[in-house]
Amino acid sequence: MTDSRVNSAESGRAAWAEAAAGLGRDLHLELAADDGAGRGGRRAVLARALRAAVSAGRLPPGTRLPPYRSLAADLGMARNAVADAYAELVAEGWLTARQGSGTRVADRAAPAPAPDPPPAPAPRPAFDLRQGVPHTGSFPRTSWLAASRRALTAAPNDAFGPGDPRGRIELRRALAGYLARARGVRTSPERIVVCSGVAGALRLLATVPQVRSAPVAVEAYGLPHHRRLLTAAGLRMLPLPVDGRGADPAGLAASGAASVLLTPAHQFPTGVALHPDRRAAAVGWARAAGGLVLEDDYDGELRYDRQPVGAVQGLDPERVAYLGSASKSLSPALRLGWAALPTHLVDAVVAAKGEREPTVSALDQLTLADFIESGGYDRHLRGMRQRYRRRRDQLAAVLAEQAPHIEVTGIAAGLHAVLRLPPGTEAAVARAAAFQGLAVEALAGFRHPDAPPDTGRDGLVIGYAAPPDNVFTAALVALCRVLPER
């Protein structure tokens, strides 16, 4: 073949491929080997494959098939063979063809029997007052979209490549400035690792030799999910007592623990702030024993009665790993968190994460960086503090009127409060609430199973952030109906 013919053939194939690329939608078919020669054999194979796909339910009634030219290009078949196969199936009633509507699977083409349906989900409660969920309707969609557009426009090309396991530098810089200003955290972009929430940070830290070398001390009341996470990592936990001054670190020195997990700004779930003397004692233990404080600042920005207390990390950045996230302040759907680490832990945590960012979208990181730098994050937090303060005040007011013997405990902060119940009534109240379609959580459900008995400390953990405005008042009235009488 001459060079001109070769060039002409290659040009023809390139033109055909370019045309085929824009012809229609993809369609996967199981094509058996031809059982005949020429156009009739190929047509028969295609017709059988289409019948099988419809019979199996992979192409349900109403599914629009690719134009015959597109399918012919995809399968490397002659157009007439595909057109004839379509026409054959239309005649048999498997397909329909209408001008302007294309070729579709016929409604009367019955698919194979569907498998048994999965069990019906449990009915949703009429009123959901469980803790931990922000008011999802308050997500700042407009300002977040604006930040996303600005971030996407300004993003360097490398933002669309494999991610740095430490996280985007734009977000780490923004976080270093914000955390210093708003939470008193002393850190730098080089010591911040972006992760998928506080749970993601704990999973990484659970691989660090310093944490794995000995048991982890945890608060006697805490998030069961975090305890399960640490247990799954092979770590043993030692519960610390919790009282009206927060977790008591007095037993740390004799415990043999190498690290301690605390919620100092707003103890979860009892709602107290860690007393200044105990903050200092925890850091003093870490200095003396070479230990590590893991500070879960899960809602530290959401205090309503006064300015939030600063992070414990500010007392000693080389002995405290500060963990935070956007789950309570913005939305858990973002899966964005961060760890401000002591210098000696950064390499180990980054190594545990791997060579590339495995969990957090670089575009979400860039958007959050812009949202912080533009002031949108601060504005959103101020608005949410006002909203949640009103919710907590409403909870307290309804109880004062309808159940004045029930005390709302804990500082005015976060997304939940604890109602103190008469001793011995917690389990019965929780059962009565469930019977009335009211989802609440008993305080005992958050107590470490190895913690000493805490007699007389009955309560309900009530989340007041998530319910829509039009049902919150009704939810509180329903709650008062199940509370024990004086």
Q: What is the pLDDT of residues 214-224, one digit of tens each?
A: 999 999 999 99
Question: Residue 113: what pLDDT?
Answer: 60
CA 177 to CA 175: how far, in whole Å?
5
- Of 27-41, 49-63, 393-407, 434-448, the least confident: 27-41
pLDDT at 155 over 70: yes
Nearest by Cα to 446 from 294, 202, 228, 279? 228
Question: Residue 108: what pLDDT?
Answer: 67
pLDDT at 28 over 60: yes
Q: Which CATH superfamily is domain 379-482 in?
A: Aspartate Aminotransferase, domain 1 (3.90.1150.10)
Percentage of residues in the chain having pLDDT higher than 70: 92
Question: Residue 225: what pLDDT?
Answer: 96
141, burial (CB in 10 Å: exposed 0-12, middle 13-18, buried 19+): exposed
- Of 264-268, 273-277, 306-310, 338-342, the least confident: 306-310
Nearest by Cα to 86 from 107, 108, 64? 64
Percentage of residues in the chain having pLDDT higher than 90: 76
pLDDT at 123 over 90: no
The phi, psi pair for 309, rounded to 5°, reads -75, 150
* Contact status, residue 320 vs residue 295, Cβ threshold 8 Å: yes
CA 23 to CA 12: how far, in whole Å?
17
* Contact status, residue 281 vs residue 255, Cβ threshold 8 Å: no
pLDDT at 302 over 60: yes
pLDDT band at 9 (very low <50, low <70, confident <90, very high): very low
pLDDT at 22 over 60: no
Residue intervals in the chain for CATH 3.90.1150.10: 379-482
pLDDT at 17 over 50: no
Q: What is the pTM for the complete model shown?
A: 0.85
* Contact status, residue 362 vs residue 163, Cβ threshold 8 Å: yes
Question: Residue 24: what pLDDT?
Answer: 62
pLDDT at 295 over 80: yes
Question: Residue 16: what pLDDT?
Answer: 43
Tokens of 88: 């054959």
Helix (H) or strand (E) holding 217: strand 216-219
Question: Residue 75: what pLDDT?
Answer: 87
- Of 13-27, 31-45, 169-183, 404-418, the least confident: 13-27
pLDDT band at 452 (very low <50, low <70, confident <90, very high): confident
pLDDT band at 37 (very low <50, low <70, confident <90, very high): very low
Residue intervals in the chain for CATH 3.40.640.10: 140-377
- Work out the mean pLDDT of the chain and round it to a whole number: 90
Residue in the block written with tokens 């007592």: 241
pLDDT at 68 over 70: yes
140-377 CATH choice from 3.40.50.620, 3.40.710.10, 3.40.640.10, 3.30.420.10: 3.40.640.10
Q: Report whether the peptide linkage leading into residue 239 is cis, meaning its omega lies within 30 degrees of zero.
A: no
Q: How confident is the model over 274-282, as a mean pLDDT?
A: 98
- Of 5-9, 241-245, 282-286, 406-410, the least confident: 5-9
Question: Residue 286: what pLDDT?
Answer: 98
Radius of gyration of the chain (CA): 31
Q: pLDDT tens across 169-211, in order?
A: 999 999 999 999 999 999 999 999 999 999 999 999 999 999 9
Question: What is the number of other CB atoms lying within 10 angstroms of the CB of residue 241?
Answer: 15
CA 206 to CA 230: how far, in whole Å?
7
* Contact status, residue 304 vs residue 392, Cβ threshold 8 Å: yes
Name the CATH architecture for the domain at 14-105.
Orthogonal Bundle (1.10)
Residue intervals in the chain for CATH 1.10.10.10: 14-105
